[in-house]
Amino acid sequence: MENKTVFISYCHKDVTKDWIVKLATKLGEHGINCIVDIYDLHLGQDLNYFMEQIKNVDKVLILLGKNYQEKANDRKGGVGTETQIISNEVYNDVEQTKFIPIVISKNEEGNAYLPYYLETRLYTDFSDNILFAKNFEEVVRQIFDFPKNERPPVINAVKKTDDENKDQKEERYKNKPNINIIQNLWSKSPYYALVNDSETILDFIPNPSYFMFIPSKVYFHFENGECRSILTLSPISYNVIEEQIVTGSTKNVIVKSNLPSNFAAKKGERDIISNVLSQDKDFQVSVSTYPFLVIISEVEYSYHNNIYKDILLSTPLQTVKINEKMFGHIKEYLLDNYKHEVYLPVDSSSIYEKAQEQVISAFKEGAVNQTFFGGKEGGYGFVLKEINRLITPIDPMKS
């Protein structure tokens, strides 16, 4: 995704400078540049020119408090000038999504301070720390026009016979390779394998390379029942593979990679390793390590003398294809966090337990390991969030 730029419209009497810095910093961590007076307005500059930048940004965040409401309604000061620019666009386009109302304080009855021109508009709520944490992702999504709930596709209402569906499926599998990675970690001899699920014969046997990670998540459980998580990926060296078997076939199993027994795990929630790190009246922090692998492989293969390349991301639940840009972000994450590699235990103990201990230690050390938890200027292109969605809300460990 390309970086976005937002203008922050607010009243100084409603919020502290530290709060604005906090908001701008968090937005910056997600690839969002903020135009806000504390950074972009200097002595001698034209106030109107500064405020007219509202017309050129991707989105405008309107921070709504009591003083902002009063100045907007009375068209007073800088807020009044910004309101004239904003309200004109809001009134002229009932479907606009450029201006995002954010409530930062409420009256004694719990009602939001909304200017007249925003009274019928949907807003999000940042009026306390819990709501800030809960709703921040929603704002980031709207800035990138990346909806949380995507509309399901509408299928053409033409009923096909069972024979037609079967013929189409057979033709698809006959005429196109379907490269996949399967994991079988639920035995004393764990392994994963590169397979071709179709009947297509490739021109030659692929020679894949793999990036392997153990996924862990830091959970934030809030008092209101909401739960947020941050995914981390602990690298695993390619050298842990005990044996790599090339079957000689380009159908079914092509290459099988045998792993040490340290990678064995039962298929079920009981083998997920969890620890509570802290708890108070507002929220609880815990860490969970999942006993399986996230495997990423760049596979180049030939079919009918044409060269193809698939970049595959595998969990026990599914294998998906990712693009070059996402793959680049994953390699960047690996480069920044190679020091968190989990080495094979010298005894027969679980490598997942060792990963859990390392993640907990890294989290407790805080800022020195910021990139391990996705905290980098510009972020990693939302790649950790995308992989997180492949692991939750449906737990791959459930049968």
pTM value is: 0.57
Q: What is the pLDDT of residue 145?
A: 85
Report the distance separating Cα 40 and Cα 30, nearest Å.
Answer: 20
Q: Where is pLDDT greater, at 377 or 268?
A: 377
Quote the CATH superfamily of domain 4-143. Answer: Toll/interleukin-1 receptor homology (TIR) domain (3.40.50.10140)
Query: Does the pLDDT of residue 158 top 80, yes or no?
Result: no
| CA geometry: angle 277, 279, 282, nearest 5 deg | 140
Residue where the block lists tokens 């006959």: 174
Q: Is residue 62 pLDDT above 90, yes or no?
A: yes
Segment 71-105, tens digit of pLDDT: 999 888 889 889 888 887 777 776 788 999 999 99
Structure-derived torsion over alpha carbons of residues 35, 36, 42, 44, reported in degrees to the nearest 10: 80
Q: Tally DSSP H helices, then E strands, for the chain.
A: 10, 16
What lies within 8 Å, CB to CB, of 108 at 6+ separation is none
- Give me 142's structure tokens: 């709207």
Q: Could you state, in order of their start, the residue ranges of all structural domains in the chain?
A: 4-143, 176-391
